[in-house]
Amino acid sequence: MKEIQLKYGCNPNQKPSRIFMRDGSDLPVEVLNGRPGFINFLDAFNSWQLVKELKEATGLPSAASFKHVSPAGAAVGHPLSDIDRKMYFVDADAELSPIACAYIRARGADRLCSYGDWAALSDVCDAATARYLKDEVSDGIIAPGYTDEALEILKTKKKGNYNVVKIDPSYVPAHEEFKDVFGVTFEQGHNDFKIDNELLGNIVTKNKELPESAKIDMIVALITLKYTQSNSVCYVKDGQAIGVGAGQQSRIHCTRLAGNKADNWYLRQNPKVLGLKFVDGIRRPDRDNAIDIYTSDEYEDILRDGEWQKVFTEKPEPLTADEKKAWIATQSGVTVGSDAFFPFGDNVERARKSGVQYIAEPGGSIRDDHVIETADKYGIVMAFTGMRLFHH
């Protein structure tokens, strides 16, 4: 197919709209179901690059959950723990493939932001993945292929209008990229910079013990950042992004935003949260919203009389500020990646509060010495990659 006509661009007034190849060749995608829009395809192409590169770098099935051209989450296909299954509403006896685990964990990074997401898979979508997606609010999916059973399941979503896109995994984009802004054409080389273990060799801190698991987490963080609107910072644990701070003008605001999301992810594992008793038939988004409010400073909004009965069968005890602080303090083994250098040590100070023990950032600040000194104060391992990863 040479082109796909779209309903409109970013907004309904932006017409006409289409995708096509400048050189007149066939598009590398095929729409198997639905009618993806302009933003859908932006999410699809950015998310596909992320999961493709993550699979190549780690050798593990990879998935991403995208919203508004940035990942809400990304992950590799490690098996789910019993706690993971409870957090992500997965039946205890459900059989899950590695690619299904990857998507469930990617969506689990920030379930509130993944509401109405675009899903991306590095591997063929199987029935296990499709069954999980069927019960989630999602706009569409891109993958290199679909089993017959998976495709039939996905075609039942959104009254038969769920967007299903198949991409040619062998497609390689042209080296030159063009973008028109305000009638002016920009040109740049495609960002084909390769992220792998070789990028992590320049450890600048006193602590140089970087286990293989942390290397994978650094790669997950850096590849996620490569396709996140800048400025951006990403927290990762066990091959799963647990907090992405995207599009902030200040580096410390990125670090705080992503750190707060990582804290929220960890709070979902608190026994009080796992023990919440929901009313029968409650929808997953309503459970997600209830958990988010319960763990926030606005918990009284959902615990007051007349409100809690709509969600819970028993009124929960509040999760106090002291309890939250104590719980977050038990978090450990977290990795942080940054798409540009940390200009001050305050970023390290904030990251440490969310259990960060490993950091990957480009380096190059005039205050690198202070940043390294701050990391050394807490025994953090920090690698300077030497490569900025801005994405706009």
Alpha helices for the chain (secondary structure H)? 38-58, 82-87, 98-108, 127-134, 148-154, 212-226, 251-267, 271-274, 284-294, 300-303, 321-328, 346-352, 368-377
Alpha-carbon distance values, 134 to 71, 81, 127, 131, 193 (Å): 20, 22, 10, 5, 35
Q: Is 67 a catalytic residue?
A: yes
The contacts found for 274-278 with CB under 8 angstroms, 24 or more apart, are: 274/83, 274/86, 274/87, 275/316, 276/312, 276/316, 277/312, 277/313, 277/314, 277/316, 278/311, 278/312, 278/313
Q: Is 392 a catalytic residue?
A: yes
Please give the structure tokens belonging to residue 382.
């920090």
Q: Is residue 140 a contact partner of residue 163, using CB atoms and an 8 Å limit?
A: yes
What lies within 8 Å, CB to CB, of 375 at 6+ separation is 205, 345, 348, 359, 381, 382
Ramachandran region, residue 355 (left: φ > 0; alpha: ψ -120 to 50; beta: rest): left
For strands 29-33 and 3-5, give the pairing. Answer: unpaired
Of 55, 67, 157, 324, catalytic: 67
Pairwise CA distance, residues 175 & 178, whole Å: 10
**Which residue has 């990391």 as its token pair?**
375
Alpha-carbon distance values, 301 to 174, 266, 279, 297, 325 (Å): 52, 22, 17, 9, 21
Q: Is 231 a catalytic residue?
A: yes
Of 33, 40, 163, 231, catalytic: 231
Pairwise CA distance, residues 349 & 352, whole Å: 5
Of 68, 86, 272, 353, catalytic: 68
**Residues with catalytic roles:** 67-68, 231, 392
